[in-house]
Amino acid sequence: MTYRFAYLLRAVGAAVLCVAANAAQAQVNLEQMTQQWLDEALARNMPAQSPLRMEVSVGALDERLRLAPCTRVEPYLPTGARLWGRTRLGLRCQEGAVRWNVFLPVTVKAYGPAWVLTGDVTMGTVLSAADATEAEVDWAAENTSILAEPNLWVGLVASRHLKAGQALRQSMLRAPQVFQAGALVRVVAQGQGYAVSAAGQAMSAGAAGQTVRIRMDNGKIVSGIVNDDGTISVQL
């Protein structure tokens, strides 16, 4: 009786180890499949002359998952996800006794040239070419766009306090203000084949490229885009 009980224990233990080994191997296979799918997807979508050097790392499935055997697993990019930064890739069983759908954490890094601040910059400071130096950074570390050329950031204003070592991104800077709220401005209204101009009062501060509201002399309020010279363009 004791011998039979011990034999059963060894058999159960071997079965458990076998299941665990199979589960571990299945996870390794899924991760390898994900890595291959990601490498191929990035190769297809990356422009030939891209300055970016891509790196992809695949995370692990939840160890508590026990996925049923599947003869065909399909990787896919979930709705709203993109191959950039910290994201996830879906894996769904298309042919198996039990259909399942899981997600693997994925990190996509995109190293490329950028401009990094050489010192702290206070909010409201106008940046000059001396404020940053060129370096390679991970473009995908944040969602906002990298400003990879000096002409994209020289002359812009820091929209918040910036620290040395930060790569310059679109969300950090704004165009300098060309007039304050209440200032008298020139509004240029353009239509098909004609243009007229008139004076108005800015209802808010304005920077080049911004849309602002202007109160005209007759009390009418119009919206237009601020030009570099401080005039306001209104389309009729």
Prediction pTM value: 0.69
**Whether residue 151 is found in the same domain as residue 223:** no
Domain that holds residue 191: 177-235
Q: Do 182 and 154 belong together in one domain?
A: no
Average pLDDT of span 194-223: 90
pLDDT tens, 87-115? 999 999 999 889 999 999 999 999 999 99
Same domain, 75 and 127: yes
59, 103: one domain:
yes
Contacts of 70 (CB under 8 A, 6+ apart): 93, 94, 95, 96, 100
Q: Distance (Å, rounded) from C-alpha 97 to C-alpha 70?
A: 7
At 211 the three-state DSSP class reads strand
pLDDT tens digits, 161-203? 999 999 999 999 998 888 899 999 999 988 777 788 899 999 9
CATH (domain of 21): 3.90.1210.10
* Residue 121 pLDDT class (50, 70, 90 cuts): very high
For 70-156, list the strands marked E by DSSP: 72-76, 85-95, 101-117, 132-138
The Cα 137–Cα 161 span in angstroms is 20
Residue 201, domain CATH: 2.30.30.760
The verdict on 138 and 182 lying in the same domain is no
Helical spans, DSSP H, in 46-154:
none
Closest alpha carbon to 122 in 157, 156, 155, 151: 157
With bands split at pLDDT 50, 70 and 90, how would you rate the model's confidence at 28? Answer: low
What type of residue is 172?
M
CA distances from 144 to 85, 141, 178 (A): 11, 9, 25
Detail the DSSP E strand segments found in the chain.
Answer: 53-58, 72-76, 85-95, 101-117, 132-138, 157-158, 173-174, 177-179, 184-191, 194-202, 206-207, 211-216, 221-226, 232-235
What DSSP state is assigned to residue 182? T
Task: Among 126, 155, 174, identify where a domain stops.
Answer: 174
Q: Do 121 and 18 sit in the same domain of this protein?
A: yes
Q: Identify the band that residue 21 occupies on the pLDDT scale cut at 50, 70 and 90.
A: very low
Give yes or no: residues 217 and 165 share one domain.
Answer: no
Residues 44 and 89 occupy one common structural domain:
yes
Which of 174, 199, 224 delimits the end of a domain? 174
69-91 pLDDT tens trace: 888 999 999 999 888 999 999 99
- At which of 174, 209, 225 does a domain end? 174
Map residue 149 onto helix, strand or coil.
coil
Which of 177, 189, 175 is closest to 233 using CA atoms?
189
What is the total count of domains within the chain? 2
Buried b (16+ CB within 10 A) or exposed e, 158-170: beeebeeebbbbe
Task: State whether 6 and 53 are in the same domain.
Answer: yes
Q: Based on the fold, state whether residues 108 and 145 are members of the same structural domain.
A: yes
Residues 129 and 198 in one domain: no
> What is each CA distance from 230 to 180, 200, 224, in whole angstroms?
11, 12, 11
**41 plus 54 within the same structural domain:** yes
